[in-house]
Structure 1
Amino acid sequence: METPRAAGRYRIDRLLGSGGFAAVWLGHDAELDAPVAIKILAEHWAQREDVRERFVQEARLLRSVDSHRLVEVFDIGVLDNGRPYFVMSYADRGTLEERLAAGPMPLNDALSVAREVARGVEALHARGIVHRDLKPSNVLIRSTTDGDERIMISDLGIARTDDRLSSLTLPAGSPGYMAPEQTTIDGAPDRRSDVYGLGALTYHMLTGEPPGERRPMPSELQPTVPHSIDAVVARALEPDRERRWPSAADFAQALSRTVGKVDTDPILPSRPAAQTRRNRRRRHLVLAVGAVAAALALLTGGAVFALAGGEEGAPVAAGDARKQHGASMGDPDGRWLRTDQDIPPQYRRLIVRAGTWCELKGLSPALIAAMLKTESDFDPELSDPRLNEYGIARWTPTGLMRWQPGGAGNAAPRPADITPELSIAAMGRFLCTQGRQIQNVPGDPALNLAGLYRTSVGKVRQAQGVPPGSRPYTRKVDHFLDAYSPR
């Protein structure tokens, strides 16, 4: 495929992806000095007036929906060879499909993305638009200036509007994600077809695979999924659309209600102490040591743990971990944290849980303890109104709102309500989610995580390690990490 040099005023740099009707290119807006995505109709379709009109209609539909949960169209035009194009916001963090290639997502992440996509679909429906092709490759991820992520729905190429829902429809959609009525001629897909697509997307995020003909409940494939979530997803995937959730809004509300009632933390595995960071002075050997320790644990009959989907940053599940859960949570034998240091015993359970919430290079209970020591000297009453930071982990209320149990569906807590139970759990969630994005950054993984906590993903990436302004902080963390790590 020949690379066009420009589309109007936009320089074209490289191909991002292509489909049957169009290709999407990474471009650059020189006037605004910003990257953009440029969708160009394929040359062999450019002479078909009906296809051209459908292509332009997609741009108009995207432009007509006022929601940051959809890709935004900035401009439209025609190349010198007559092929139409339109210019969109660029998703610098790729697609949900790319993220799912590593396996199922952490439970909180999956539910958060599912609700965001559902709200985007709700915005489409409010404009009388049915998407009809909800799938992971059509869910884009873009970074925000504060280091967070924005979920955006794309590709309205086969979308239908209210004025066309009653007309003859041909089978259209993607296998595994399209509702049964979309597979038949004149199946008259409506908003409930998108509800099915939402259910299929959520199922895939929770389990690592799209729903097939044999469809076990998500909790059968991933024990960390609560049965209440099973029920919400199963109703969305009902073959009979009369039995599905009536709308995307109903589906999103059901997820929010359910998430607010469950503890979405995973079960703590019973990992052998040999797998902890034993010697902080040999950081360059830590990955090799960890691998050898894991192998020895298997050879000697040690406890076996499994990652949900096998990706770093995913919640952990273990076959017999439920039986070990109560005994190991308080860390009475010091397998996770030194017992002769100043870690308050009433917080050890919370620290161990946060430090083992996922499998991530650098994350450990000792790191959580070292960061809490550096942040507040383990003071649960810390109050710093000047920086709007409170509690043992120095959270701002709005920051804690997203990372506390239950996620952003909860209200921002008052400073007086920022308890260690909320603060420490949120620290583990934050590091597990955001930390995956800096795993390839050079340097000590643990200190990079500490630097991330005090800055952002973008700043750690830009500095290729701990940003200079955070190094005094991470030096203190490093000192306490050595002191708290089991010998």
Structure 2
Amino acid sequence: MPETPTPETDRDEAFLRELLLRGWITGDQAAEVRRLKAAADDLHQDVSLDEILVKKSFLAPDRVAVARRDVAARIGQALRIGKYEILQRLGEGGAGIVYRAYQTALGREVALKVLSRRREGEEEYLERFLREAKVAVTLNHVNIVRGLDFGYADGYHYFAMELVEGESLLALVKREGRLTERKAIDVALQMVRALEHAQKFQIVHRDIKPENILMTRSGTAKLADLGLARPTLEGAGAADGAGRPMGTALYVAPEAIRREGTIDYRADIYSLGATLFQMLTGRPPYSGQTVQEIVRAHLSAPIPNPREFAMDLSTGAAAVVGKMLAKDPGERYQTLEQLDEDLASVLEGRPPVNTIMLGRRSVATAPFIDGPLEPGAKRPSPAPSSPARRRAATAAVVVLSLGVVGAGAFVVLRKKPEPPPPPHPVAVGPVDPGAGKGTDAESLRAAREEGAKKALAEAEEAGKAK
């Protein structure tokens, strides 16, 4: 495979040529160094030219250092791309490399993404690279990696963005196993607010996943990699130019897999739900031996209950995740504002107000399975419930009725074990009479919560009485 030109390979080639001119290495040695460096790059091994020279005993370590310093002076000091001085490689992807760079005019460090010359001639990659740059410089939000500049200089397409000192959410979850509920909900809430900002510009991200969320050392979450983002007004479907569904398989929404017309923000809600599931449990909602198995699970498998993998999770958190992961976009949160409100409620220890709670479960959790979804794995038998819990489960159904002018009530209905007369109300927790006189959102939410607490308490008392 021919070596892909990058700023680093350009600098290394200049270094090798200088060593050859000085007679410090032979032509055969230079060829061997190039071969080993190319092999290391193909295996994604971060091995420098200097290390190869030393390990092959072509040059002593101190002489390599002297040579680097002398050659840097000879070839014009540090490598530059336009107004940016390359300092260090930070990471590499399929389309290029991200460097730590220094913008001399403004005296600041940035992250500089450089498109591989191998990809310049491929329209799909160049279009995605330029789209990411344009979207990033348009959006200005604390929870989105800020785009600073993009252009073409010294033979490279580049895109400068703010330098985030920290790690990806994926690295954080791998290191910690799973996050606390409070921390996970907080990260998800920050991402919802980033998406709310993007929605103002009719932009859908389409690739929400832990790898694309960067965590600063202070705990701020920043959404990155806008290469798949598109304005919904373009009528963009769910597939890329090659007909492949967009988004990583572990987190992709069912409608993106099916390529069902225009993809909107509800696909981002699903992907964020899969990401939140992983934060809370340490694993994605679906897994499999192949991409096809994972995709089939997203399309038709029951939604796994996160409480089966993390028993200490609140029912409110599980309910929110369940609603985010609904197969049908029409059954998910219909606005980002509703999701924002429910995540904020759970974060503050209150029940979510946009998900109907049924006792200790939620309407959104109805399709939850009782164990992990692994290929060939057997679902564990449900643990036997206590008589009191069984009585409580059959004694009460809580229904949220939204009234006129913002009023509402939780109605608890009894269900008798023998052929009963028509169910009759055991208790009704109406809202405060004054609540229906205004339209204040805080008053409505407080009324709903108070009604829910009162109804659930009376349902439990009814269960004990039996």
Query: Which of 216, 219, 235 is 2:304 aligned to?
Result: 216
CA offsets, 1:60-115, max 9 Å, x none? Answer: 1111122121111111121322x311100111102111111121012211111110
Unpaired segments of 5 or more residues in structure 2?
A: 9-78, 287-296, 352-441, 443-466
Q: Report 1:251-266 matches (<5 A).
A: 251-262=339-350
Q: Structure 1 pair 229/27, CA: closer, same or farther in 2 (3 Å)?
A: same
Query: Greater shift after overlay, 163-172 or 187-196?
Result: 163-172
**Separation in 1 of the partners of 2:169 and 2:235?**
28
Question: Does 2:209 match 1:135?
Answer: yes
Note if 1:90 corresponds to 2:160.
no
- Name 2:255's counterpart in structure 1: 181
In structure 2, distance between residues paired with 1:114 and 1:22: 29
Partner of 2:220: 150
Residue in 2 that maps onto 1:237: 325
* TM-score, structure 2 normalization: 0.52
Alignment match, 1:164: 234
Q: Any conservation in 1 of the 2:103–2:110 contact (CA below 8 Å)?
A: yes
- Counterpart of 1:364 in structure 2 is none
Q: Answer whether contact 1:195 1:247 (CA < 8 A) is retained.
A: no
- Over the aligned positions, Cα root-mean-square deviation in angstroms equals 2.2
**Residue 94 of structure 1: SS of its match in structure 2?**
strand
Q: Is the 8 A contact 1:226 1:262 kept in 2?
A: no
* CA apart distance, 1:233: 0.6
Counterpart in the other structure of 2:122 = 48
Q: Which has the higher strand share?
A: 2
Letter in 2 for 1:202: L
Q: Which has the higher contact order (CA 8 A, sep 6+)?
A: 1
Counterpart Cα distance in 2 of 1:3 and 1:62 = 23
Output the amino acid matched with 1:222: A
Residue 167 of structure 1 and its aligned partner are, at CA, apart by 5.3
Q: How much has 1:141 moved relative to structure 2?
A: 2.0
Equivalent position to 2:185, from 105, 111, 118: 111
SS at match of 2:167: coil
C-alpha contact (below 8 Å) 2:238/2:256 kept by paired residues: no
Give the partner amino acid of 1:162.
T
- SS of residue paired to 1:101: helix
For 2:91 and 2:314, the matched residues in 1 are separated by 36
State the Cα distance separating 1:50 from its structure 2 match: 4.8
The residue number in structure 1 matching 2:141 is: 67
**1:301-340 pair list within 5 angstroms:** none
Which residue of 185, 194, 200 maps to 1:120?
A: 194
**Contact 1:181/1:188 (8 A) holds in 2:** no
Amino acid at match of 1:152: K
Determine the C-alpha separation between the residues in 1 that align with 2:153 and 2:123: 16
Q: Does 1:99 align with 2:169?
A: no
Matched AA of 1:88 = M
TM-score, normalised via structure 1 length:
0.50
Shift of residue 150, structure 1, vs aligned partner: 2.2
Q: What is the aligned residue count?
A: 259
The 2-side partners of 1:67 and 1:120 are apart by 7
Which one-letter code corresponds to 1:134 in the other structure? I
Q: How does 1:327-476 map to 2 (within 5 A)?
A: none
Which of 133, 150, 159 lines up with 1:76 in the alignment? 150
Indicate the SS of the match to 1:86. strand
| CA 1:89–1:42: 2 relative to 1, 3 Å | same
Distance 2:126 2:332 in 1: 35
Instruction: Report deviation, 1:34.
Output: 2.9
Identity %: 30
> In the aligned structure 2, how far is the partner of 1:23 from the partner of 1:187?
33
Give the residue type in structure 1 aligned to 2:333: W
Q: Distance in 2 between matches of 1:106 and 1:261?
A: 14
Amino acid across the alignment from 2:92: S
In structure 2, the CA distance between the partners of 1:259 and 1:32, relative to structure 1 (3 Å rule), is same
CA deviations on 1:227-268 (whole Å, 9 max, x unpaired) are: 1110001000001111001133321211112232359xxxxx
> Any idea what the Cα deviations from partners look like across 1:371-419, whole Å, max 9, x if unmatched?
xxxxxxxxxxxxxxxxxxxxxxxxxxxxxxxxxxxxxxx9xxxxxxxxx
Query: Alignment partner of 1:134: what SS?
Result: coil
Measured against aligned partners, the alpha-carbon deviations of 1:406-443 in whole angstroms (never above 9, x if no partner) come to xxxx9xxxxxxxxxxxxxxxxxxxxxxxxxxxxxxxxx
Question: By how many angstroms is 1:57 displaced?
Answer: 2.0
In 2, Cα distance between the equivalents of 1:224 and 1:138?
Answer: 27
Equivalent residue, structure 2, for 1:25: 99
Structure 2 distance, partners of 1:50, 1:208, is: 34
Q: Distance in 2 between matches of 1:88 and 1:168?
A: 27
Amino acid across the alignment from 1:89? E
Alignment partners' CA distance in 2, 1:247 and 1:20: 34
Cα separation, partners in 2 of 1:243 and 1:63, compared to 1, 3 Å: same
Contact 2:178 2:279 in 1 (8 A): yes
Task: Specify the alignment match of 2:52 in structure 1.
Answer: none
CA contact under 8 A between 1:3 and 1:14: conserved in structure 2? Answer: no
The C-alpha deviation readout for 1:6-55, integer Å capped at 9, x for no partner, is 22222212222222223211222334443211111122111234532332
In structure 2, relative to structure 1, the CA distance for the partners of 1:33 and 1:106 (3 Å cut) is: farther
Q: Partner letter of residue 150 of structure 2?
A: I
Measured in 1, the distance between the counterparts of 2:326 and 2:265 equals 14
Q: Is the 8 A contact 2:232 2:263 kept in 1?
A: no
| Partner SS state of residue 35, structure 1 | strand
Quote how far apart the aligned CAs of 1:189 are: 1.7
**Structure 1: how far apart are the matches of 2:278 and 2:7?**
34
Alpha-carbon displacement from aligned partner over 1:138-171 (angstroms, at most 9, x marks no partner): 111234xxxx332111111111212222557441
Q: Go from structure 1 to structure 2 and tell me whether the alpha carbon gap of 1:168 and 1:140 turns closer, same or farther (over 3 Å shift).
A: closer
